[in-house]
Chain A
Amino acid sequence: MAIYRSHVLVCGGTPCLLKGARTIRDLFQQEIDRYQMTDEIRVVETGCLGPCDEGPVVIIYPEGVMYSRLQPADVPKIVENHLYKGRVVEELIYKEGKAGREQSGPPGVTLEGEKYLDRQKRVVLRNCGRINPDSIEEYIANHGYKALGKALTELRPEEVVQMVIDSKLQGRGGAGFPTGLKWSFTAKTQADRKYIVCNADEGEPGTFKDRLIMEGDPHSIIEGMAIAGYAVGAEEGIIYIRGEYQLSIERMARAIRQANQYGLLGKDIFGSGFNFQIQIRSGAGAYICGEETALLESLEGNRGEPRVKPPYPGVAGLWGKPTVVNNVETLANIAPIILNGPAWFRSIGTESCPGTKVFTMLGDINNQGLIEVPMGITLREIVYEIGGGIPGGKGFKMAQTGGTSGGCLPMEYLDLPMDYDTLAKAGSALGSGAMLIIDDTHCIVDVLKNFMRFFCHESCGKCTPCREGNPRLYEILTALSAGTATQAQIQLMKDLARTMQLTALCGLGQSAPNSLMTCLRFYADEIAEHLNGECPTGVCKSLATKSEAV
């Protein structure tokens, strides 16, 4: 294998590709060839590096210097100065909240790529931005499939399940159910067939972690699924990827082909007698299919309407057979747990919620993108340290955690540790890890209307509380923004929201009113002002702004 003195890793995640990363990659190769450094320097397309808003992003090893917002004209400069003469091109180095954000106060700290990554704890994203996702050799060179080998040759299935139980890993799709416990239900159930389903139907607004994990390190998901299969006694795996994620589908398909060629999927893996195969199925545009039983219905060729639980999928899932349904991020955690042990995993994060969490930071925040940090990090650290604060010198109004089905937290909660338990107690949810930051120029009623319109559209219509509840909530909010709502309607909203939380059939309907409930509690004053015909931010056009009213 050839040895190179430098590697140029060009981010090949969708956000960077949209900003011309492939052109940048080709230009690097062209310039490197022109300097006759082809044998010395290798250009690699890699997975997501994180700062999606700053793309195209490139990181050069061994120095670990990260360049961002690259234009084609920048490439010859970097090749000539950095790669040929050994001088880092300072003005192109990634800086937090760079171009177009100068008004946000003092310029951000200059960070080298390595430091940027060092502030995070990368377990799930261990290979994203470090290896070529299309190369199984690079995955293997970074301890890939070693955990599968260990499980198959050194551990009994029940020991694997026990390790995952001991790690206290919780499902990363949103609900936070203990993964080991889920596996144990399926492992205990006798059946002629069992399934491992990877839920890659990522649709929660603000969430794009699964997309970038699949694009950046597809083999980590395959390895996690195969280990799960061995642990519970399943020989078939299915990855259900939403139809809109074309690049994820492509990369996962290629990775599965490679794993089959290497004998890491298929028959008698590692000579252990264990067989496992994986197929990809893709969705056709329905948010509800992220709900596990709706997903199973969709896999059976039906409308994606949730099933009544129990029975849970672990006992009776796909085609009535015991089925483990795990999220992409959950599965990407499995190999490191098997390799390093549950105690290592528990040493990261908090006591009740160990491990890391991949967050997507977005909205009114300087550094939009993907980060992985230990559980228990505070909202303040995410927003003001890693996120680089709010652009344009505006103030923090609220953070919606866990996507549109999560909840909203005001300024007073900035020091709340981010984990499943704490956020649930605060009435919000960690959910999928989406962190939507909203500045003080936005109107609470306007954003709530947006949230509720989403649920009106995405409700599958099977159960009444969700089908009827969401449109009624939206109507009242519309009335509120038009200045025609009454105090009695606010109470009606609360009653309705509570009813939905208690009686809707699935997680969609139960969590749809979460943001509304938290806002009614934390922003009661702003809502009361709307009742009086005033919109303090001036967003609701038919109402007076505060200054006009006075």
Chain B
Amino acid sequence: MLAKTDCSLPTPKLSAILDKYKKSPGSLLEILREAQAINGYLSREILQLIAEEVGVPESKVYGVATFYSLFKTAPTGRYIIRICESAPCHIRGAQDVLAAIEKTLAIKPGETTPDGKFTLEFTSCLGLCGVAPAMMINDQVFGNLTGDRVREIINSF
């Protein structure tokens, strides 16, 4: 699916990023990370521009952007809830936490709330198993979750 066209492509910002990494080969991940920070996701146009400037096929840039779970090629909610359902969190009741989030926001993993505020998705192990079950909301981490606590956290956003 073609992402919705941006009215104003952030060319100056993107050029600055591309300039910064011009002399460092292998920086595609860094470029994508910083480019994503401009709009919150990597639109088709941005990927095309990056491909042109870096001098690689667009398919390669698209391939990299879709390989890594922290890159988004479609708009997401302002807050991305990444819930861990790896074995350690599973054992400590992550399913109840997930059920509470699904109920509070009325969305399933992979979906975004109609107001565009929250996107819910699974993450691989966050290395917070000492305080499982755990999740991240954007860059913030949360541990020792229960159904009640996760509702409180979501309401505080």
Please tell me if the beta carbons of B26 and A246 are within 8 angstroms of each other in the complex.
no
The CA-CA distance from A19 to B149 in the complex, in Å, is: 13
Q: Which residue on chain A has the smallest CB distance to residue B134?
A: A18
- Least distance between A248 CB and chain B CB atoms (Å): 9
Considering only residues 28-76 of chain B, those with a C-beta below 8 Å from chain A are 28-30, 32-33, 60, 63-64, 67-71
Assuming A246-B139, A301-B64, A404-B87, is B69 touching A285 (CB within 8 A)?
A: yes
Write out the residue numbers on chain B whose beta carbons fall within 8 Å of the beta carbon of A319. 25-26
Please tell me if the beta carbons of B131 and A304 are within 8 angstroms of each other in the complex.
no
Assuming A284-B33, A284-B70, A303-B67, is B127 touching A447 (CB within 8 A)?
A: no
Asked if B92 CB lies within 8 Å of chain A CBs, one says yes
Asked if B17 CB lies within 8 Å of chain A CBs, one says no
> Which residue of A19, A304, A436, A460 is within 8 Å of B87 (Cβ)?
A436
Please tell me if the beta carbons of B88 and A206 are within 8 angstroms of each other in the complex.
yes
Write out the residue numbers on chain A whose beta carbons fall within 8 Å of the beta carbon of B15. none
The CA-CA distance from A434 to B123 in the complex, in Å, is: 18
Give A368-379 as 1s and 0s: 1 = Cβ < 8 Å from B's Cβ atoms: 111000000000
Please tell me if the beta carbons of B87 and A211 are within 8 angstroms of each other in the complex.
no
Interface range, A side: 35 or more
Write out the residue numbers on chain B whose beta carbons fall within 8 Å of the beta carbon of A438. 91
Write out the residue numbers on chain B whose beta carbons fall within 8 Å of the beta carbon of A15. 128, 130-131, 143
The CA-CA distance from A502 to B27 in the complex, in Å, is: 35
Give A49-61 as 1s and 0s: 1 = Cβ < 8 Å from B's Cβ atoms: 0001101000000
A-B contact count (CB 8 A): 141
Point out which of A52, A243, A301 has the most chain B C-beta atoms below 10 A from its C-beta: A301
Q: Which residue on chain A has the smallest CB distance to residue B64?
A: A303
Asked if A185 CB lies within 8 Å of chain B CBs, one says no
Assuming A14-B141, A18-B144, is B26 touching A208 (CB within 8 A)?
A: no
Asked if A283 CB lies within 8 Å of chain B CBs, one says yes
Please tell me if the beta carbons of B87 and A454 are within 8 angstroms of each other in the complex.
yes
Write out the residue numbers on chain A whose beta carbons fall within 8 Å of the beta carbon of B113. none
Please tell me if the beta carbons of B87 and A284 are within 8 angstroms of each other in the complex.
no
Considering only residues 86-103 of chain B, those with a C-beta below 8 Å from chain A are 86-88, 90-92
Please tell me if the beta carbons of A283 and B139 are within 8 angstroms of each other in the complex.
no
Asked if A217 CB lies within 8 Å of chain B CBs, one says no
The CA-CA distance from A245 to B88 in the complex, in Å, is: 18
Write out the residue numbers on chain B whose beta carbons fall within 8 Å of the beta carbon of A14. 127-128, 141
Please tell me if the beta carbons of B130 and A368 are within 8 angstroms of each other in the complex.
yes
A-B contact pairs, 26 of them (CB 8 A): A14-B128, A15-B130, A15-B131, A18-B131, A19-B131, A55-B131, A203-B124, A205-B88, A207-B125, A211-B127, A244-B123, A244-B127, A284-B32, A284-B70, A285-B68, A287-B125, A301-B27, A301-B28, A302-B64, A363-B91, A368-B129, A368-B131, A404-B86, A442-B91, A447-B91, A458-B124
18 additional A-B pairs beyond A14-B141, A302-B28, A364-B91, beta carbons within 8 Å, are A14-B127, A18-B143, A208-B129, A245-B127, A301-B26, A301-B64, A302-B64, A319-B26, A362-B130, A368-B131, A370-B130, A434-B129, A436-B88, A436-B91, A450-B87, A451-B87, A454-B87, A458-B124
